[in-house]
A and B are shown apart, each in its own frame.
Chain A
Amino acid sequence: GAGVSQSPRYKVAKRGQDVALRCDPISGHVSLFWYQQALGQGPEFLTYFQNEAQLDKSGLPSDRFFAERPEGSVSTLKIQRTQQEDSAVYLCASSLSWRSSYNSPLHFGNGTRLTVT
């Protein structure tokens, strides 16, 4: 079946621009995560949704970062007034239901590579 789909694959933004990154999780997956991966580093947690509820946003680095999942499926990560330090790969992952059973592994998309110039 289809995996986690992210778009766009690449995004170049000028410093100060706003960007929106989209994630289509695997159908039926209740849990959705956003991670940020800098070059040569492991992924770092940003935020977590269970259905449409954002249960944990402790990893968002500043109030310029905002995520939503209004209907419990597709999610959007928005970054306002982008800065150079925002350049990274943004990964989305979904799981059947992480909250009730972390036995269900995270399935990652291929990410959006954001470059801020």
Chain B
Amino acid sequence: EDQVTQSPEALRLQEGESSSLNCSYTVSGLRGLFWYRQDPGKGPEFLFTLYSAGEEKEKERLKATLTKKESFLHITAPKPEDSATYLCAVYTGANSKLTFGKGITLSVRP
């Protein structure tokens, strides 16, 4: 069974304090790893898809990287508006679903 583990569960940063969020996965044949952002009371908002080890993608202060066992979401000089829950999910193609982790709740203090 596909497993996705995100750590830490919660992270509090000072504005400008860079850090990384971890997503470890155990699957049989990764076809895609997805990062989503979720604000309270809202649905997940798509950020990135990564397909193969070594791949990196960037968007503003966020950079996602992928290895054969885990993915990192690096946040550079975060701002309070980056506060949200960050979800990662894997897709193997064995069926139609994405398997999500529990998410990491990020709080950025001004």
Q: Show the binding face of A for B, using Cβ within 8 Å.
A: 4, 33, 40-45, 48, 55-56, 58-59, 91, 93, 98-99, 102-103, 105-111
Contacts and interface: CB of A to CB of B under 8 A. Distances in A.
Nearest to A105: B46
Interface bin, chain B: 20 to 34
A31 B62 CA distance: 28
Nearest to A99: B96
B41 A110 contact: yes
Interface in B23-40: 31-32, 34, 36
B49 A105 contact: yes
26 contacts: A33-B96, A33-B97, A41-B103, A42-B87, A42-B101, A42-B102, A42-B103, A43-B44, A43-B98, A45-B97, A55-B96, A56-B95, A56-B96, A58-B95, A91-B43, A91-B44, A103-B32, A105-B34, A106-B34, A106-B44, A107-B46, A108-B43, A108-B44, A108-B45, A110-B41, A111-B42
Interface of B: 4, 31-32, 34, 36, 41-46, 49, 87, 89, 91, 93, 95-103
A26 B93 CA distance: 23
A103 to B, nearest CB: 7
B96 A106 contact: no
A82 B73 CA distance: 38
Q: Find the residue from B32, B43, B93 having the highest chain A CB count within 10 A.
A: B43
A-B residue pairs, 3 tightest by C-beta: A42-B100, A108-B43, A45-B97
Contacts of A58: 95, 97
A55 B93 CA distance: 14
Q: Which of A33, A42, A45 counts the most chain B CB atoms within 10 A?
A: A42
A109 B34 CA distance: 17
A110 B91 contact: no
Contact of B42 (A44, A99, A102, A110): A110
